[in-house]
Structure 1
Amino acid sequence: MTVGIKSQVSSMLIDAATHYQTIDNFGASDAWSMDPIGKHWTDENKTRVADLLFSRENGIGLSAWRFNIGAGSEETDREIIRNPWRRAEAFRMSADSDYDWSKQAGQQWFLRAAKERGVNTLIAFVNSPPVWMTKNGHAQPDPGVGSTNLKPGYEPAFASFLIDVLKHFRNEGIEFQYVSPINEPTWDWNNSGQEGNRYNNDDLKRVLLEVYNQLKASDLKTKISAADGVEITSLLDDDLFEEFSGEQQYSSGANALGTGKYREYIKCMLGDPELKEAIGHKIASHSYWSDYDKPGDDRLGKLRELLVANIERYDPDAVYWMSEYCILGHDGHGRDFGMDAALRVARAIHFDLAAANAAAWQWWTAVSKEDYKDGLIYTDFKKPGDEQNILPSKILWALGNYSKFVRPGAVRIALNETDEDLASGLMGSAYLHEGERTLAAVFVNDSGEDRRISVSLQGLDVQGGVKVMHTYVTSEKHDLAQSDEVKVSANGTLEGIIPARSVVTWNGEWS
């Protein structure tokens, strides 16, 4: 394919006086591959993986890490969860047993590696309560358990278990900033191939308030992150869901069971004064099935506009986190080490940040052995003795265009682009970090042509202080590679080329 340069110059404006959300972090999770990798790989190979994920010098500099607190399926659910990489150990296997802190040793190795490399947001997340707290004794429900698999009245025991885990790690020098007690409560999870649990909205409230009350009574500083809804549509009020879809209400997952309500999470949590306080005026959701734009089904733009409007309906100051995503559905099958998947992910990141005002963006599983678009890094290792190969994807580097340069505490500022630019596959967002004295702009060019852009800076006295913007490119030929510098003219104008099918970061410092 011959790549040309679009003759028309795209003019953009970065207005540093117009502020949007403050960025909290970019991250990924350890589920569940980091346990076998951490247990069985050599220190040299584990260190390389940790550097790729967490190091700003040798990798993409993730600033958040999600640590899965297992429910014990490794001991009880081998006939249900056949894939050993999708099972998890538990730190405690009965109400009468002692805690065994040697469990999840591989995950613990990477948890410490993240902290050692400066990751400053650690999140403990739970897919299922420990198996001894569930109605059926398993780490996933079955059709007979009712609205949830958590035993009646076990909210205090479940919360106490989480507090014990958080305190243990705090005493070991690792403090979790957040705990997520519930994950994707909408799904029914019946006999699923991984740990999981459903909670209707009443179940959810009981669990979250109990965890909140026990956190308040403890000396922990950990906050709650919730509810990790499975997709944006499950969060919306019924009227806004109908506006988007034409259907009266969200009906996927456990909503079909007749065991309560598993939707409208914004209203459920931000519209409830008790829960709004418990979750710290922050709501977290996943962006699955929210990464495409089709006629009559605009899940990139329109859906996120409704999300923002829905949050503002109950709490204009609430913070939104995008806490999990990979490419699912038919398009998810098969590894993709090229730019097709990377550009799809980069578009999702752009719209989550620039349209949904997400303060955090977190990928699903950091390392995958699967033939699926669910990993930042891939390996063919399956069992001890196999080759410990490390296969970074372009998705890793495209995420790095954001995570390495848009650091916690940065504020998204206005970058005005035209509808024509967006329609033709060119999009950009800009970020100002007062503490690090940096200005970063990230561009996604999803078109087959190089795009020439002219960007004017205004609203901040950086024109005289920023002399040059360093350029970092992810494309078919480059992995977050430093490229030609873009000089800032005396009047605060920058001109450069965003290569075809690439993600590009301009990053500059001012004195």
Structure 2
Amino acid sequence: MPHIKLSLIFVFIVARTALSTAQVTSSRPLTISINPNNKAQIIQTFGASGCWYSESIGKHWPANKKEHIAELLFSREIDKTGNPKGIGLSAFRFNIGGGTAEQGQASGISNPSRRVECFLNPDGTYDWSKQSGYVWFLRKAKEYGVEELITFSNTPPVQFTQNGFGFKLNKDGLANLKPDKYVAYANFLTDVANHFDKEKLHFNYISPVNEPQWDWSGTVGSAKQEGSSWTNPEIYRVVKSLDSLLQARKLKSKISTPEAAMLTYLYSNKSPNSKQIQSFFADTSSLNFRNFKSLPPVVAGHSYFTDVTDSAIVNIRKAVADTARKYNVDFWQSEYSMLGDGYKEGLKGRRTPMDCALFLAKIIHNDLAVANATAWHLWNAYEPGSADFDTRYYLIALKPDSGFVNGDYTVTKNLWALGHYSLFIRPGMQRLNVKRNDNLNDIEAAQKTMVSAFKGNNGKMVIVAINYAKDQQALSIDLENMPIKTLRSYVTTAAGEDNMKATKLRNLKDVMLPSRSITTFVIN
């Protein structure tokens, strides 16, 4: 998730108890040393999906409400008091629908909000007035200067599927696409990309399959959403067709794939849609993507269900990094929300919004600092749900009316947790490896203070620290003689008014991290 001209240093800090005068301070100060020449991966974007509920909000909700939601997601502006108006996402993900909305109840998907229109009519003509709510948010993202627009498809158009539905009826693990419709499906995707190019809404990436390991099967009338499984050979076939058409039509959109349902499918497992890094990027593989000009050496996967314990979080991401490095590919974390119960960390009962925000920050940190992700995208920007507890699925909690033509919304602490990264780490910045004086490994640091750093052009630098301890933590940051002209912090705590709240600071040698908080230090 975009470029700042001034030379900046940002330090992000997450701590673990509410800010108060009664806080206990950790007895040992933590010193972080940063060498600007100790470089890791280059960051491309931070983003979020606007799936399902964009349609009703963008199409029906009052202008003041939807405009404010767009501002919260996309704005990089700082208000008169020095506080951010939004989180400045640098990527926005747009769902190309499969036509289940036109089928209505006959689509077999129970929730009308999860049925999606399709630009392609059954007679082969196009209706570009469809998905108007989705397109409203797409235009807003462009207006705010979001650097990358990404489109993804959960299902081919229903007229191309084997069963006529936007989901599977059986669990055979195969694609729902008819064998003779691969080129037609690829042509549909390129037609969509070409149309939006003409609308000045260029899709930087097209993602033709989503979470191919899940069977996406359902019973007609109770199915949850559009979706299809795909084997690796089927993915190869659709990517080959899409690459050929993008090249033939001289479109500049790139292909993003395979959107693995869990990170472990990228490097392990024995199913026909596993070991996807090896299958698609090994020189000896018959499914090698290397010759496809529209597909960069990037593998996309989702961090769902790989967050059960700190050990699992770290070890799985180390395996991703090791395998990606071996086959010389970059890794995108392209979807995450707290679908599993890992965010509860073994505790019973409801989790507070700040609990969820801190856990989200932990996952972002490990995906960046351990898995070496070059992009990090959340699912989903907004969904119906509570803003008071277990805010595990979204940045903004929706409370729609019965017809979804209006409603209320509440910003959750998750928005600001992501914003501590997305607003300040702009595309092209490079992560730096850091040293710490307590010598904790990644697993040990996951319950205390996690730190990552990023460097931009002309001396700009970003430092990210996550303090997961229950006490305040004294922190000293050694920038190896880099001059500091001005310093400002942005703090998020459990307190309602502390949402990236701006404060001026004097130095980075005597910093006190509030408990259960996220703090960003900005240095010019």
Is the structural similarity TM-score above 0.5?
Answer: yes
Residue aligning to 2:5: none
Residue aligning to 2:336: 325
Contact 1:236 1:310 in 2 (8 A): yes
* Within-5 A mapping of 1:126-165: 126-143=153-170, 147-165=174-192
Q: Identity across aligned pairs (percent)?
A: 36
How far residue 268 of structure 1 moved from its aligned partner, in angstroms, is: 1.3
Task: Give me the whole-angstrom Cα distance separating, in 1, the residues matched to 2:225 and 2:64.
Answer: 30
Residue aligning to 1:354: 369
The one-letter code sitting in structure 1 at the alignment partner of 2:366 is F
How far residue 103 of structure 1 moved from its aligned partner, in angstroms, is: 0.6
* Deviation readout 1:394-415 (Å, 9 max, x if unpaired): 0100000000000001111122
Residue aligning to 1:236: 267
Moved more, 10-19 or 374-383: 374-383
Residue aligning to 1:242: none
Contact 1:450 1:498 in 2 (8 A): yes
Task: Give me the whole-angstrom Cα distance separating, in 2, the residues matched to 1:89 and 1:470.
Answer: 46
Task: Give me the whole-angstrom Cα distance separating, in 2, the residues matched to 1:200 and 1:385.
Answer: 37
Partner of residue 310 from structure 1, selected from 320, 323, 335? 323
Partner of residue 392 from structure 2, selected from 370, 373, 376? 373
Contact 1:415 1:430 in 2 (8 A): yes
How far residue 480 of structure 1 moved from its aligned partner, in angstroms, is: 1.1
The one-letter code sitting in structure 2 at the alignment partner of 1:262 is N
Task: Give me the whole-angstrom Cα distance separating, in 1, the residues matched to 2:457 and 2:506.
Answer: 21
Residue aligning to 1:269: 280
How far residue 369 of structure 1 moved from its aligned partner, in angstroms, is: 0.7
Distance of aligned partners of 1:305 and 1:100 in 2 relative to their CA distance in 1, 3 Å threshold:
same
Task: Give me the whole-angstrom Cα distance separating, in 2, the residues matched to 1:347 and 1:41.
Answer: 34
Distance of aligned partners of 1:277 and 1:20 in 2 relative to their CA distance in 1, 3 Å threshold:
farther
Contact 1:440 1:505 in 2 (8 A): no
Contact 1:368 1:375 in 2 (8 A): yes
Contact 2:343 2:356 in 1 (8 A): no
Contact 2:473 2:512 in 1 (8 A): yes
Residue aligning to 2:511: 496
How far residue 376 of structure 1 moved from its aligned partner, in angstroms, is: 0.5
Partner of residue 290 from structure 1, selected from 306, 309, 324? 306
Distance of aligned partners of 1:385 and 1:53 in 2 relative to their CA distance in 1, 3 Å threshold:
closer
* Deviation readout 1:90-144 (Å, 9 max, x if unpaired): 00132x2310111100000000000000101100100000000000001011117
Partner of residue 190 from structure 1, selected from 210, 214, 217? 217
1:120 corresponds to 2:137 = no
Contact 2:173 2:229 in 1 (8 A): no
Contact 1:324 1:362 in 2 (8 A): yes
* Deviation readout 1:361-397 (Å, 9 max, x if unpaired): 0000111113562110011114447753120110100
Moved more, 329-338 or 19-28: 329-338
Listed as ranges, the gaps of 5+ residues in structure 1 are: 238-248, 256-260, 489-493
* Within-5 A mapping of 1:293-442: 293=309, 298-315=311-328, 318-330=329-341, 338-371=353-386, 373-384=392-403, 388-417=407-436, 418-419=439-440, 422=445, 424-434=447-457, 437-442=459-464
Distance of aligned partners of 1:136 and 1:486 in 2 relative to their CA distance in 1, 3 Å threshold:
farther
* Deviation readout 1:67-103 (Å, 9 max, x if unpaired): 0000011122635211112111100132x23101111
The one-letter code sitting in structure 2 at the alignment partner of 1:181 is P
Moved more, 188-197 or 351-360: 188-197
* Within-5 A mapping of 1:78-117: 78-79=105-106, 80-94=108-122, 96-117=123-144
* Deviation readout 1:18-60 (Å, 9 max, x if unpaired): 1111110000001111111111111111110000000011100
* Deviation readout 1:465-494 (Å, 9 max, x if unpaired): x22332111111211111242425xxxxx3
Distance of aligned partners of 1:30 and 1:400 in 2 relative to their CA distance in 1, 3 Å threshold:
same
Task: Give me the whole-angstrom Cα distance separating, in 1, the residues matched to 2:506 and 2:254.
Answer: 41
Contact 2:213 2:230 in 1 (8 A): yes
How far residue 338 of structure 1 moved from its aligned partner, in angstroms, is: 2.1
Partner of residue 203 from structure 1, selected from 231, 234, 242? 234
Q: Secondary structure at the match of 1:212?
A: helix
Moved more, 422-431 or 12-21: 422-431
How far residue 262 of structure 1 moved from its aligned partner, in angstroms, is: 1.8
Q: Secondary structure at the match of 1:215?
A: helix
Moved more, 16-25 or 373-382: 373-382
Task: Give me the whole-angstrom Cα distance separating, in 1, the residues matched to 2:46 and 2:489.
Answer: 20
Q: Secondary structure at the match of 2:225?
A: coil
Listed as ranges, the gaps of 5+ residues in structure 2 are: 1-17, 78-84
Task: Give me the whole-angstrom Cα distance separating, in 2, the residues matched to 1:32 and 1:60.
Answer: 21
Contact 1:69 1:90 in 2 (8 A): yes
* Deviation readout 1:228-282 (Å, 9 max, x if unpaired): 0011111113xxxxxxxxxxx35xxxx4xxxxx1211111111247413433100
TM-score normalised per structure 1: 0.88
Q: Secondary structure at the match of 2:313?
A: coil
Task: Give me the whole-angstrom Cα distance separating, in 2, the residues matched to 1:173 and 1:429.
Answer: 36
Contact 1:441 1:507 in 2 (8 A): no
Moved more, 337-346 or 371-380: 371-380
Moved more, 40-49 or 497-506: 497-506
Q: Secondary structure at the match of 2:179?
A: coil
Task: Give me the whole-angstrom Cα distance separating, in 2, the residues matched to 1:267 and 1:385.
Answer: 44
1:463 corresponds to 2:479 = no
How many residues get paired? 473
TM-score normalised per structure 2: 0.86
Q: Secondary structure at the match of 1:443?
A: strand
Q: Secondary structure at the match of 1:184?
A: coil
Task: Give me the whole-angstrom Cα distance separating, in 2, the residues matched to 1:332 and 1:98.
Answer: 46
Task: Give me the whole-angstrom Cα distance separating, in 1, the residues matched to 2:342 and 2:277.
Answer: 29
Q: CA RMSD in A?
A: 2.1
Task: Give me the whole-angstrom Cα distance separating, in 2, the residues matched to 1:337 and 1:120.
Answer: 33
- Name which structure has the greater RCO, CA cutoff 8 Å, separation 6+: 2
Contact 2:211 2:258 in 1 (8 A): yes
Contact 1:215 1:222 in 2 (8 A): yes
The one-letter code sitting in structure 2 at the alignment partner of 1:431 is F
The one-letter code sitting in structure 1 at the alignment partner of 2:334 is S
Distance of aligned partners of 1:167 and 1:385 in 2 relative to their CA distance in 1, 3 Å threshold:
closer
